[in-house]
Amino acid sequence: MATKKITKKKGTKPEKKKEEKVKFIGKVTKVRQFKPAMVIEWPRTLTHVHTYGMLSPFFEGLRKGELRATRCPNPNCPENGLWIPPRAHCPDCHTEMVWETLPNPVIGKIYTFTEVVYAGAGIELSTPYWQVDVEIPGVVTIPKSYLLYGKPYIGMKVKAEFRTKNPTNTVLDYYWVPYEE
């Protein structure tokens, strides 16, 4: 292969390469408000890969319209009730938990609630909505979810329902609706 020899003429300056400037390639943010503090909209796109690990059966159950919980199988453990959200290991004795499916319909009563006006990052629900903590018979924890419709009150009976068509594969796939016997 032939190479070309580059010779420089006497008295000439070397060719200067054009300097590249750093360019802004993002989108200009929109200002929502200026006072009392500036608030901007800054859209982002991100792919987050996450594993549910040993808690996968809970989310698989939601896809099937089932509420699954875990229980400590250790007969010497002081806490042998059901846990929702589930735990992989007992927080008291560290034994690996076993899975149980609650019988449908799952009926509970509202323990407490709050109206969410500004949802945090990752909560893909229209606001405002009612976040509810629900007591479920036989469950030692008080799981948090949301009321699909209606206005909650303490002690209100509610029934669990599930998003089985086009599930999000998150805890948003189960919610509560008012229940009347």
Does 112 map to a domain? yes
Please report the pLDDT score of residue 68 as a whole number: 98
Does 13 map to a domain? no
Q: What is the dihedral of CA 165, 135, 181, 129, to 10 degrees?
A: -50
pTM for the model: 0.73
CA–CA distances in Å: residue 120 to residues 9, 47, 141, 173: 66, 18, 23, 17
Please report the pLDDT score of residue 160 as a whole number: 98
DSSP string, 39-98: EEE-----------GGGHHHHHHHHTT--EEEE---TT-S--SEESS--SB-TTT-PBPE
Does 31 map to a domain? no
Please report the pLDDT score of residue 30 as a whole number: 83
Q: How many residues does the chain have?
A: 181
What does DSSP assign to residue 171?
A: G
Does 113 map to a domain? yes
pLDDT tens by residue, the chain, 181 residues: 555 555 556 666 666 666 665 666 567 678 888 888 788 787 777 787 888 899 999 999 999 999 999 999 999 998 889 999 999 999 999 999 999 999 999 999 999 999 998 887 777 888 889 999 999 999 999 999 999 999 999 999 999 999 999 898 999 999 999 999 8
Please report the pLDDT score of residue 124 as a whole number: 82
Does 26 map to a domain? no
| Cβ atoms 136, 106 nearer than 8 A | yes
Does 17 map to a domain? no
Does 16 map to a domain? no
Please report the pLDDT score of residue 32 as a whole number: 86
The parent domain of residue 87 ranges over 53-178
Does 34 map to a domain? no
- Select from 69, 77, 82, 81 the least CA-distant residue to 93: 77
Strands lying side by side in the sheet with 82-83: 82-83, 68-71, 98-101
Name the domain count of the chain.
1
Please report the pLDDT score of residue 9 as a whole number: 61
| Cβ atoms 132, 152 nearer than 8 A | yes
